[in-house]
């Protein structure tokens, strides 16, 4: 479950405090990711946590969770667009096969809730997660076939995602943080780099 792009990687826990669900959380070109979509993932993660023992887990909360879930949805869109450009896609049958493989890895369907909570994946986003890692794997295979060394594949995928984000244009609702186009990531508004004055708390 942890074999996932560093950029797609971390996603996990807590409500947007008192925010309206109207409007967009982010846009990628003409694709809009609604606040309701992101909040749905957050709510599903929080609900799932109530059913498992999280005492030994390091789980994201608050703003980190909000950013993590938006990052997940944003990067899935970008991976789809990168894959489409190089004529790659993931079929429903491939998703179904990989889902079964993951179920086998974690020890069956009854162990899946624990695994998803630990990985910060909303149950309703499981197929989307599988699609994202499957697209990442296919892009990796294409790069390898083109002669890219294994050690460089992760960096090359990130370059493709960064380039696609610049081509399409990405905007992020400030309540989630800000878009860092140099690494294609949603970052905390007060941690944008060394030139930023430390936030007072």
| SS3 per-residue string spanning 103-161 | HHHHCCHHHHHHHHHHHCCCHHHHHHHHHHHHHHHHHHHHHHHCCCCHHHHHHHHHHHH
**162 within a domain of the structure (yes/no):** yes
Band of the pLDDT at 189, cuts 50, 70, 90? confident
CA pair distance 3, 192, nearest whole angstrom: 27
**49 within a domain of the structure (yes/no):** yes
Tell me what pLDDT residue 194 has.
43
Radius of gyration of the chain (CA): 17
Q: Looking at residue 70, which CATH number applies to its domain? A: 1.10.4030
Tell me what pLDDT residue 28 has.
97
**109 within a domain of the structure (yes/no):** yes
Residue with the two structure tokens 């993931």: 90
Helix (H, G, I), strand (E, B) or coil at 9: helix
The answer to which of 71-75, 180-184, 192-196 has the lowest mean pLDDT is: 192-196
- Closest by CA to 157, choosing from 1, 2, 9, 53, is 9
**34 within a domain of the structure (yes/no):** yes
Please give the structure tokens belonging to residue 85: 């450009």
Question: pLDDT digit string (tens) for 95-143?
Answer: 999 999 999 999 999 999 999 999 999 999 999 999 999 999 999 999 9
Please give the structure tokens belonging to residue 149: 């060394």
**192 within a domain of the structure (yes/no):** no
**148 within a domain of the structure (yes/no):** yes
**201 within a domain of the structure (yes/no):** no
**16 within a domain of the structure (yes/no):** no
Question: pLDDT digit string (tens) for 9-21?
Answer: 333 222 233 333 4
Identify the domain containing residue 36 by its residue range: 6-11+23-187
- Closest by CA to 65, choosing from 115, 118, 120, is 120
Q: Provide the number of structural domains found in the chain.
A: 1
CA pair distance 157, 143, nearest whole angstrom: 8
């Amino acid at each position: 479950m942890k074999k996932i792009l560093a950029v797609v990687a971390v996603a996990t826990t807590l409500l947007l405090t008192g925010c309206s669900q109207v409007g967009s959380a982010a846009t990628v070109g003409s694709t809009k990711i609604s606040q309701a979509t992101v909040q749905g993932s957050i709510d599903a993660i929080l609900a799932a946590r109530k059913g498992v023992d999280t005492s030994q887990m390091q789980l994201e909360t608050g703003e980190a969770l909000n950013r993590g879930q938006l990052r997940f949805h944003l990067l899935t869109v970008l991976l789809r667009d990168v894959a489409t450009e190089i004529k790659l896609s993931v079929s429903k049958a491939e998703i179904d096969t990989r889902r079964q493989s993951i179920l086998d890895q974690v020890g069956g369907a009854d162990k899946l809730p624990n695994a998803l909570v630990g990985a910060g994946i909303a149950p309703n986003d499981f197929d989307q997660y599988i699609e994202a890692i499957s697209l990442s794997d296919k892009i990796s295979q294409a790069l390898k076939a083109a002669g890219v060394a294994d050690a460089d594949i992760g960096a090359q995928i990130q370059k493709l995602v960064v380039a696609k984000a610049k081509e399409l244009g990405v905007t992020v609702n400030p309540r989630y943080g800000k878009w860092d186009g140099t690494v294609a990531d949603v970052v905390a508004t007060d941690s944008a780099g060394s030139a930023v004055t430390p936030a007072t708390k």
